[in-house]
Amino acid sequence: MLNKKSVDDINVKGKKVLVRCDFNVPLQDGKITDENRLVASLPTIKKLIADGGKVILCSHLGKPKGEPKPELSLAPVAARMSELLGQEVVFAADPEVVGPNAKAAVAAMKDGDVVLLENTRYRKEETKNGEAFSKDLASLCEVFVNDAFGTAHRAHCSNVGVTQYVDTAVVGYLMQKEIDFLGNAVNNPERPFVAILGGSKVSSKISVINNLLDKVDTLIIGGGMAYTFAKAAGFEVGKSLLEADYIDYANEMVQKAKDKGVNLLLPVDTVVAKEFNNDAPSRVVEGSMEPDEMGLDIGPKTRELYKDAVKSAKTVVWNGPMGVFEMPNFAKGTIAVAEALAEIDATTIIGGGDSAAAVNQLGFGDKMSHISTGGGASLEFLEGKELPGVAAANDK
């Protein structure tokens, strides 16, 4: 499933190469506030420049919903990429993305030049994978490189549609790294293999839990979704996040873990408060909560239990925080897990989204083997789904 051609398998000298990047960076007053995604794209782009390709970059930014919104223009990205690459990145400012500016800029390119197209989501067809925009994009290039894992779980024009109209479609280094880490973890992990799932909802992680119970040695549950499991076990959860429709499902998963011999760990104590507020007085509860209380983090015994559970692991996948980590008083569970993963000698994979933000904010980023750039995409990977953006690349 994952044996895809990459930028190392092709020769791009003198060829026009369209690269789908993930430049969906946060902007504040036209300034980029976090450029991790830009930096992550550099190895692929530099490789294509060095090989003498004519490098045409494209990406979406935010949700302009199919119309040009000046505040979501990629112009600031072109300026910053010029600095990061040490050469001019020509910005093709066309509201229709592939317009006169783009065509003229591409026609004028010499080997090693770089052009950036405008936000692909300025076009309505982009998110619907419409034929006209896919053909427009393909008309600019001879080779297509997909290096945007963050959108790999969506079939859009700029990552899937365009591949139908070019002969050569490969993955970039960032995409390759994601496929290698996540693919190996799920399909061929070094054991013991431990998965840690947090976040607010069981419903969004159903298929993930189900798929991972077939693969892991230990599954650890924390965050808001733990309260549905607690309720299923007969405890009262007060005003905590609860998905009553999923109580039966939680019980099925507990049974499945038993049948499979998987060690399923649920919180044994919880930090509760009466309101959703960092300064609310809190206490630690084992068992049932009062009707006016809500769980906001895993308790101290649970933190120790989870730390012990990962000590001997050789592969760990973590997706979703253990509590309301944006509030310092309820971040201890998430911090404990991050610290535990930072200390072990194992392949540690953080599945994008909130867990990636937590690990980076807490300063543990460089201690992890891999931090995924795509929350939704990494979740679908862990569910065992085929990602359209990966599937569309040429097989080796």
pLDDT digits (tens, 9 = 90+) for 220-241: 999 999 999 999 999 999 999 9
Residue 83 token pair = 């600095």
Tell whether 187 and 144 lie within a shared domain: no
pTM (2 decimals)? 0.85
Name the domain count of the chain.
Answer: 2
Among 37-41, 42-46, 390-394, the range of highest mean pLDDT: 42-46
Helical packing angle, 173-187 and 36-50, nearest 10°? 110
Task: Considering only residues 378 and 63, tell me which one the structure prediction assigns the higher pLDDT.
Answer: 63
Q: From CA 171, how far away is CA 390, in angstroms rounded?
A: 8
Whether 389 is covered by a domain: the verdict is: no
Read off the pLDDT band of 98 (50, 70, 90). Answer: very high
Q: Is there a contact between 173 and 147 (Cβ–Cβ < 8 Å)?
A: yes
CATH code at 194?
Answer: 3.40.50.1260
| % of the chain exceeding 70 in pLDDT | 99
Whether 132 is covered by a domain: the verdict is: yes
Tell whether 212 and 137 lie within a shared domain: no
Indicate the residue type of 294.
Answer: M
Residue 188 token pair = 């061929």
Indicate the residue type of 239.
Answer: K
Active-site amino acid positions: 37, 201, 353, 376
Task: State mean pLDDT over 118-124.
Answer: 98
Mark which of 115, 147, 174 sits at the end of a domain.
174
Indicate the residue type of 286.
Answer: E
Whole domain around residue 206: which residue ranges? 181-382
Q: What is the pLDDT of residue 375?
A: 77
Strand partners for 20: 58, 146
Q: Is there a contact between 158 and 137 (Cβ–Cβ < 8 Å)?
A: yes
Q: From CA 245, how far away is CA 231, in angstroms rounded?
A: 11
Q: What is the pLDDT of residue 203?
A: 87
Residues 152-203 have pLDDT tens digits of 999 999 999 999 999 999 999 999 998 888 888 888 899 999 999 998 888 8
In the numeric block, the tokens 């995604």 are attached to 37
* CA 192 from centre of chain: 24
* CA 238 from centre of chain: 32
Q: From CA 311, how far away is CA 317, in angstroms rounded?
A: 14
Mark which of 174, 202, 233 sits at the end of a domain.
174
| % of the chain exceeding 90 in pLDDT | 85
Q: What is the pLDDT of residue 314?
A: 97
Mark which of 148, 174, 200 sits at the end of a domain.
174
Tell whether 79 and 33 lie within a shared domain: yes
Tell whether 101 and 235 lie within a shared domain: no
